[in-house]
Amino acid sequence: MSISQNLSQIQQRIQQIAHQCQRSDIRLLAVSKTKPVQAIEEAIQAGQKAFGENYVQEGVEKIHYFKENKEVEWHFIGPLQSNKTRLVAEHFDWIQTVDRLKIAERLNEQRPVGKAPLNVLIQINISDESSKSGIAPEEMLELAQQIASLPNLRLRGLMAIPKPESDPEQQKVALRKMEQLFHRLQQTFSGIDTLSMGMSDDMQSAIECGSTMVRIGTAIFGARVYGKVA
Protein backbone atom coordinates (compact mmCIF):
# COMPACT_ATOMS: atom_id res chain seq x y z
CA MET A 1 0.00 0.00 0.00
CA SER A 2 1.00 3.61 -0.43
CA ILE A 3 2.09 5.92 2.38
CA SER A 4 -1.20 7.80 2.16
CA GLN A 5 -3.15 4.55 2.48
CA ASN A 6 -1.02 3.49 5.45
CA LEU A 7 -1.63 6.85 7.13
CA SER A 8 -5.35 6.57 6.56
CA GLN A 9 -5.47 3.11 8.11
CA ILE A 10 -3.47 4.16 11.15
CA GLN A 11 -5.57 7.28 11.69
CA GLN A 12 -8.73 5.19 11.49
CA ARG A 13 -7.29 2.75 14.03
CA ILE A 14 -6.34 5.60 16.38
CA GLN A 15 -9.85 7.03 16.09
CA GLN A 16 -11.39 3.63 16.84
CA ILE A 17 -9.31 3.14 19.97
CA ALA A 18 -9.88 6.74 21.06
CA HIS A 19 -13.64 6.33 20.62
CA GLN A 20 -13.59 3.21 22.77
CA CYS A 21 -11.75 5.19 25.45
CA GLN A 22 -14.03 8.21 25.02
CA ARG A 23 -11.08 10.38 24.03
CA SER A 24 -10.27 12.67 21.12
CA ASP A 25 -6.86 14.12 21.92
CA ILE A 26 -4.42 11.65 20.32
CA ARG A 27 -1.89 12.92 17.80
CA LEU A 28 0.10 10.84 15.34
CA LEU A 29 3.83 11.51 15.07
CA ALA A 30 5.23 10.02 11.86
CA VAL A 31 8.74 8.72 12.59
CA SER A 32 10.59 9.59 9.42
CA LYS A 33 14.17 8.76 10.40
CA THR A 34 16.22 7.27 7.52
CA LYS A 35 13.35 7.99 5.12
CA PRO A 36 13.89 10.11 1.99
CA VAL A 37 12.25 13.49 1.53
CA GLN A 38 10.04 12.03 -1.21
CA ALA A 39 8.38 9.75 1.36
CA ILE A 40 7.85 12.66 3.76
CA GLU A 41 6.44 14.72 0.87
CA GLU A 42 3.86 12.01 0.21
CA ALA A 43 2.91 11.94 3.89
CA ILE A 44 2.54 15.73 3.96
CA GLN A 45 0.31 15.61 0.89
CA ALA A 46 -1.82 13.04 2.72
CA GLY A 47 -2.31 15.50 5.58
CA GLN A 48 0.38 14.46 8.05
CA LYS A 49 1.90 17.46 9.84
CA ALA A 50 4.20 16.17 12.62
CA PHE A 51 7.41 14.22 11.97
CA GLY A 52 9.97 12.68 14.30
CA GLU A 53 13.70 12.43 13.60
CA ASN A 54 16.34 10.54 15.61
CA TYR A 55 19.51 11.86 13.99
CA VAL A 56 20.35 15.53 14.29
CA GLN A 57 22.11 16.20 10.98
CA GLU A 58 19.62 14.17 8.95
CA GLY A 59 16.74 15.96 10.61
CA VAL A 60 18.21 19.39 9.97
CA GLU A 61 18.67 18.59 6.27
CA LYS A 62 15.01 17.61 6.02
CA ILE A 63 13.89 20.71 7.90
CA HIS A 64 15.82 22.85 5.43
CA TYR A 65 14.27 20.98 2.52
CA PHE A 66 10.73 21.66 3.78
CA LYS A 67 11.40 25.13 5.23
CA GLU A 68 8.77 26.78 3.02
CA ASN A 69 6.05 24.62 4.56
CA LYS A 70 5.28 26.40 7.83
CA GLU A 71 2.63 23.87 8.86
CA VAL A 72 5.07 21.00 9.27
CA GLU A 73 6.21 20.37 12.85
CA TRP A 74 9.55 18.71 13.61
CA HIS A 75 10.22 16.64 16.74
CA PHE A 76 13.65 15.41 17.79
CA ILE A 77 13.11 11.98 19.36
CA GLY A 78 16.61 10.53 19.64
CA PRO A 79 19.23 10.71 22.38
CA LEU A 80 21.00 14.06 22.26
CA GLN A 81 24.67 14.70 22.95
CA SER A 82 25.65 18.08 24.33
CA ASN A 83 27.74 18.92 21.25
CA LYS A 84 24.61 18.64 19.07
CA THR A 85 22.25 20.80 21.12
CA ARG A 86 22.72 23.94 19.02
CA LEU A 87 21.35 22.30 15.87
CA VAL A 88 18.27 21.08 17.73
CA ALA A 89 17.77 24.45 19.45
CA GLU A 90 18.02 26.32 16.16
CA HIS A 91 15.89 24.10 13.94
CA PHE A 92 13.42 21.80 15.72
CA ASP A 93 10.02 22.67 17.19
CA TRP A 94 10.05 19.93 19.84
CA ILE A 95 12.52 17.73 21.66
CA GLN A 96 11.08 14.67 23.37
CA THR A 97 14.23 13.27 24.96
CA VAL A 98 15.50 15.72 27.59
CA ASP A 99 16.90 13.74 30.51
CA ARG A 100 19.40 16.05 32.22
CA LEU A 101 19.74 19.68 33.18
CA LYS A 102 22.91 20.28 31.16
CA ILE A 103 21.07 19.52 27.91
CA ALA A 104 18.12 21.71 28.90
CA GLU A 105 20.37 24.63 29.79
CA ARG A 106 22.27 24.42 26.50
CA LEU A 107 19.02 24.25 24.51
CA ASN A 108 17.72 27.28 26.39
CA GLU A 109 20.90 29.29 25.78
CA GLN A 110 21.06 28.33 22.09
CA ARG A 111 17.41 28.87 21.14
CA PRO A 112 17.47 31.79 18.67
CA VAL A 113 16.04 35.14 19.73
CA GLY A 114 12.62 35.66 18.18
CA LYS A 115 11.89 31.96 17.81
CA ALA A 116 9.06 30.45 19.84
CA PRO A 117 10.17 28.53 22.95
CA LEU A 118 11.32 24.99 22.23
CA ASN A 119 8.67 22.47 23.32
CA VAL A 120 10.19 19.93 25.71
CA LEU A 121 9.24 16.47 26.91
CA ILE A 122 11.15 14.77 29.71
CA GLN A 123 12.15 11.22 28.82
CA ILE A 124 11.44 8.70 31.58
CA ASN A 125 13.27 5.36 31.66
CA ILE A 126 10.12 3.69 32.91
CA SER A 127 11.35 0.10 32.55
CA ASP A 128 14.74 0.85 34.15
CA GLU A 129 16.70 -0.43 31.16
CA SER A 130 20.44 0.31 31.09
CA SER A 131 20.35 0.45 27.29
CA LYS A 132 17.80 3.28 27.24
CA SER A 133 18.09 6.98 27.93
CA GLY A 134 15.81 8.76 30.36
CA ILE A 135 15.61 9.60 34.03
CA ALA A 136 14.21 7.57 36.89
CA PRO A 137 10.59 8.41 37.79
CA GLU A 138 11.59 9.84 41.17
CA GLU A 139 13.78 12.44 39.43
CA MET A 140 10.95 13.82 37.31
CA LEU A 141 9.73 16.70 39.46
CA GLU A 142 13.19 18.11 40.13
CA LEU A 143 14.12 18.17 36.43
CA ALA A 144 10.68 19.53 35.53
CA GLN A 145 11.15 22.41 37.97
CA GLN A 146 14.54 23.21 36.45
CA ILE A 147 13.19 23.14 32.88
CA ALA A 148 10.15 25.23 33.80
CA SER A 149 12.48 28.01 34.98
CA LEU A 150 14.21 28.29 31.59
CA PRO A 151 12.53 31.03 29.50
CA ASN A 152 13.31 29.66 26.04
CA LEU A 153 11.92 26.21 26.77
CA ARG A 154 8.29 25.20 27.23
CA LEU A 155 7.70 22.07 29.29
CA ARG A 156 4.85 20.11 27.69
CA GLY A 157 5.00 16.66 29.28
CA LEU A 158 6.64 13.24 29.22
CA MET A 159 7.95 10.64 26.80
CA ALA A 160 8.84 6.99 27.31
CA ILE A 161 9.94 3.90 25.40
CA PRO A 162 8.81 1.02 27.62
CA LYS A 163 10.43 -2.40 27.43
CA PRO A 164 8.82 -4.39 24.58
CA GLU A 165 6.10 -6.79 25.75
CA SER A 166 3.87 -8.90 23.52
CA ASP A 167 1.07 -9.29 26.07
CA PRO A 168 -1.16 -6.19 26.30
CA GLU A 169 -1.59 -6.57 30.06
CA GLN A 170 2.18 -6.66 30.52
CA GLN A 171 2.50 -3.62 28.25
CA LYS A 172 0.12 -1.72 30.51
CA VAL A 173 2.22 -2.19 33.65
CA ALA A 174 4.79 0.38 32.53
CA LEU A 175 2.27 2.47 30.60
CA ARG A 176 0.07 2.89 33.70
CA LYS A 177 3.09 4.09 35.64
CA MET A 178 3.68 6.70 32.96
CA GLU A 179 0.04 7.76 33.12
CA GLN A 180 0.36 8.31 36.88
CA LEU A 181 3.55 10.34 36.44
CA PHE A 182 1.86 12.43 33.76
CA HIS A 183 -1.08 13.24 36.03
CA ARG A 184 1.33 14.15 38.82
CA LEU A 185 3.18 16.50 36.48
CA GLN A 186 -0.12 18.07 35.38
CA GLN A 187 -1.06 18.71 39.00
CA THR A 188 2.25 20.46 39.65
CA PHE A 189 2.84 22.51 36.50
CA SER A 190 0.63 24.40 34.05
CA GLY A 191 0.62 23.72 30.32
CA ILE A 192 1.31 19.97 30.61
CA ASP A 193 -0.63 18.37 27.75
CA THR A 194 1.54 15.74 26.04
CA LEU A 195 2.24 12.12 26.98
CA SER A 196 4.25 10.61 24.15
CA MET A 197 4.21 6.82 24.30
CA GLY A 198 3.08 4.00 22.08
CA MET A 199 4.49 2.64 18.85
CA SER A 200 3.20 0.11 16.34
CA ASP A 201 3.23 -2.88 18.72
CA ASP A 202 1.75 -1.20 21.80
CA MET A 203 -0.30 1.65 20.34
CA GLN A 204 -3.65 0.41 21.63
CA SER A 205 -2.38 -0.21 25.15
CA ALA A 206 -0.68 3.19 25.18
CA ILE A 207 -3.84 5.05 24.16
CA GLU A 208 -5.85 3.10 26.73
CA CYS A 209 -3.29 4.26 29.32
CA GLY A 210 -3.60 7.95 28.45
CA SER A 211 -1.09 8.53 25.66
CA THR A 212 -1.77 11.75 23.74
CA MET A 213 0.87 11.12 21.05
CA VAL A 214 1.83 7.84 19.38
CA ARG A 215 5.06 7.50 17.39
CA ILE A 216 4.66 5.35 14.28
CA GLY A 217 7.32 4.76 11.63
CA THR A 218 7.49 1.42 9.82
CA ALA A 219 3.71 1.05 9.56
CA ILE A 220 3.63 4.34 7.65
CA PHE A 221 6.82 4.31 5.60
CA GLY A 222 7.76 0.63 5.42
CA ALA A 223 10.93 -1.00 6.72
CA ARG A 224 13.79 1.35 7.49
CA VAL A 225 16.81 1.53 5.24
CA TYR A 226 19.94 2.55 7.11
CA GLY A 227 22.58 4.42 5.14
CA LYS A 228 22.51 7.52 2.95
CA VAL A 229 19.23 9.42 2.97
CA ALA A 230 18.20 11.50 -0.03
Read off the pTM: 0.95
Residue 222 lies inside a defined structural domain of this protein: no
Percent over 90 (pLDDT), the chain: 93
Reported as a single tens digit per residue, the pLDDT across 13-56 is 999 999 999 998 899 999 999 999 999 999 999 999 999 999 99
pLDDT band at 230 (very low <50, low <70, confident <90, very high): very low
Residue 53: which CATH number?
3.20.20.10
**What residues make up the domain containing 126?**
3-216
> What's the domain count of the chain?
1
Give the model's pLDDT for residue 130. Answer: 84
Decide if pLDDT at 228 tops 60.
no
Residue 228 lies inside a defined structural domain of this protein: no
Reported as a single tens digit per residue, the pLDDT across 54-80 is 999 999 999 999 999 999 999 999 999
Residue 153 lies inside a defined structural domain of this protein: yes
φ, ψ dihedrals at 51, nearest 5°: -130, 145
Give the model's pLDDT for residue 118. Answer: 98
Residue 227 lies inside a defined structural domain of this protein: no
Percent over 70 (pLDDT), the chain: 97
Residue 226 lies inside a defined structural domain of this protein: no
Residue 230 lies inside a defined structural domain of this protein: no
Residue 186 lies inside a defined structural domain of this protein: yes
Residue 112 lies inside a defined structural domain of this protein: yes
